[in-house]
């Protein structure tokens, strides 16, 4: 498919294009994406893990109808591994077969890595440099130089200049401070967890068949959960997974017992689960799931009558147990 050249014509086109990739953004995020594309600058995205930084680059490539090349940074990654490696097995084999008759340091023996692939792509590609904060400062300096000139030097081949300037997206979880020089040359975007209305729209898009009541209940609880002092707050992906979980269990709303039994879908550390369990009743006070309410009605119990509290609790427990096939 041809490159979608209309994507960067307006901020509205950016919003529409990303939405078609099932990635919903507000105008602030769309403006940053628009400016990075039109000014030809890298888009530097910082923010906590799980807010959709990598997903934005993936959606951008989809919206542009172009390839995505991803460079995953990690401690010890050096510049040569971002560019290329030589195919040593092929070189050795041909040296044995042809001896001095072949140049084993030609492009035919080159294994391109993400940065070089993006530079040599036949069309403008999206180059995602993921978690650049995990790389060392030397790597950051090299990338800064390479992205300033969009050319790199390979000793055996000389200078390689990008055929087309890629659309560059850098992400960081802020485990260390990035250089001022890198920030100065980029369009900076700090991505937070989405506001409730946006997260509801995301879940409605990602979880077909979910009711508005359940969707709102999921989002409201997750938003409250993120306000606690947790080691790892639930990401957007985890809120989507939780919505799918509740839908799979046949629920149309949330209540305290249901939250307690499925909290491990949202939280991944025992201390976070323990902290959240202490606050569940405060975060969803007095909320009773429709299914529980139906059971109460079937058993002629009045939830407003305090004398029936023990019967209500017993009915809820019975209802919870019938959800599982032991």
**Domain locations along the chain:** 7-85+113-190, 196-287
CA atoms within 13 A on the CB side of 179: 15
β 110-112/84-86 pair status: antiparallel
* Contact between 194 and 236 (Cβ < 8 Å): yes
pTM here?
0.79
What distance in Å separates the CA atoms of residue 201 and residue 199, rounded to the nearest whole number? 5
**Structure confidence at residue 313 (pLDDT):** 41
What is the maximal distance between C-alpha atoms in the chain? Answer: 96
Provide block-wise average pLDDT over 10 residues at a time, the chain (326 residues). Answer: 92 97 95 97 95 96 98 90 75 68 67 90 96 93 91 82 96 93 96 94 94 95 94 94 95 91 95 94 62 47 42 38 32
**Structure confidence at residue 105 (pLDDT):** 66
7-85+113-190 topology per CATH: Rossmann fold (3.40.50)
Among candidates 234, 197, 203, 217, which has minimal Cα distance to 284?
A: 217
**Structure confidence at residue 88 (pLDDT):** 67
* Contact between 169 and 56 (Cβ < 8 Å): yes
**Structure confidence at residue 155 (pLDDT):** 76
């Amino acid at each position: 498919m041809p490159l979608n050249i209309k994507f960067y014509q307006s901020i509205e086109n950016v919003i529409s294009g990303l939405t078609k990739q099932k990635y919903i953004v507000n105008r602030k995020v769309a403006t940053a994406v628009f400016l990075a594309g039109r000014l030809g600058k890298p888009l530097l995205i910082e923010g906590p893990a799980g807010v959709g930084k990598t997903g934005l680059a993936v959606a951008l490539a989809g919206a542009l109808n172009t390839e995505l090349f991803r460079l995953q940074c990690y401690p010890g990654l050096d510049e040569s591994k971002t560019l290329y490696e030589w195919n040593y097995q092929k070189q050795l084999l041909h040296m044995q077969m042809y001896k001095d008759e072949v140049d084993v340091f030609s492009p035919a023996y080159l294994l391109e890595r993400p940065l070089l692939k993006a530079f040599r792509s036949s069309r403008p590609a999206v180059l995602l440099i993921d978690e650049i904060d995990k790389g060392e400062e030397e790597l950051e300096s090299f990338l800064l130089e390479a992205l300033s000139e969009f050319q790199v030097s390979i000793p055996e081949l000389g200078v390689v200049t990008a055929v087309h300037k890629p659309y560059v997206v850098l992400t960081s979880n802020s485990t260390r401070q990035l250089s001022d020089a890198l920030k100065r040359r980029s369009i900076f975007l700090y991505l937070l967890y989405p506001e409730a209305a946006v997260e509801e729209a995301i879940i409605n898009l990602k979880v077909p068949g979910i009711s508005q009541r359940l969707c709102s209940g999921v989002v409201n609880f997750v938003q409250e959960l993120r306000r606690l002092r947790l080691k790892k707050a639930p990401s957007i992906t985890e809120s989507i997974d939780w919505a799918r979980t509740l839908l799979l269990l046949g629920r149309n709303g949330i209540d305290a017992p249901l939250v307690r039994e499925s909290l491990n879908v949202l939280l991944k550390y025992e201390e976070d689960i323990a902290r959240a369990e202490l606050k569940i009743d405060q975060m969803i006070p007095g909320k009773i799931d429709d299914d529980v309410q139906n059971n109460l009605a079937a058993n002629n119990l009045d939830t407003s009558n305090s004398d029936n509290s023990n019967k209500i609790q017993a009915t809820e427990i019975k209802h919870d147990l019938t959800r599982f096939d032991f």
